[in-house]
Amino acid sequence: MTLIPDSNGVRRVMGIFAHPDDPEFFAGGTFARWAAEGAEIIFVLATSGDKGSDDPEMTHARLIEIREQEERKAAAALGVSEVVFLRYPDGELQPTLDLRRDIARMIRLKRPDVVVTCDPTAFWYGTSSINHPDHRAIGAAVLDAVYPAARDRLNFFELVRDEGLDPHKVRQIYICGTTQPSTKVDVSAYLETKINALREHQSQIKDMDGLAERLRSNRDPESPEDQPRYMESFRVITFNR
């Protein structure tokens, strides 16, 4: 498995996920590291997490307001410059052509070097966790938007004709939440930044101190006992230009 020693020339990153809090859980340390090393980070959230509450008094509209505010604060804690919400219904995400077009539009508009998203093939983790269907749906839509929709002129030609959005070729995709990682990013210096960002998601995390301790205990098993390291793992696809 490759260990990334630095940001390797990454200047603009787009994290495309299903819900508020997904960027922080899946890759918060990596985003914080890239931001600290000078990259511009943009988050695109397909939904606003409008079903993520067990409060019988909660409404969809109120939860959207809460979770979008939480995500903006969490993103700011990581050093993210912009957060875009597409506002698809939570829990109902599908890799449709409409979603693919909306993602291709954002890629053409912002022109990132790197796109980060979820693994559409991960249905479960071990024997105790099933991956959320929205995570799989956004991963499939993003991969299809990166290639071929965002890079080929005649795919969604209306983006060129009506909006003036020329094709864009993404250099790399970092796929997180994968059972087949190829690359590890050392986020040791940014673990506390990730934890502080997650603290903003108060509507979702009931025991933040417990979560923080679990994250701190999840050290790289190959690191020395007296110098623990913390890693985030990805399947990285690098396109030939």
Query: Tokens at residue 141, please?
Result: 């839509």
- pLDDT for position 225: 83
Global pTM value: 0.95
Neighbours of 96 (CB within 10 A): 12
- pLDDT for position 10: 82
Residues 6+ positions from 79 with CB-CB distance below 8 Å: 31, 32, 35, 36, 41
Token pair 């690098």 in the structure block, residue: 238
* Domain with residues 11-220+228-238, CATH architecture: 3-Layer(aba) Sandwich (3.40)
Tens of pLDDT, residues 51-108: 999 999 999 999 999 999 999 999 999 999 999 999 999 999 999 999 999 999 999 9
Residues 6+ positions from 123 with CB-CB distance below 8 Å: 130, 131, 136
DSSP 126-176: TTTEE--HHHHHHHHHHHHIIIIITT-TTTTTHHHHHH-------SEEEEE
The overall average pLDDT reported for the chain is 95
Give CA–CA dist 66/48, Å, rounded. Answer: 9
- pLDDT for position 168: 98
In the chain, where the domains are located: 11-220+228-238
- pLDDT for position 57: 93
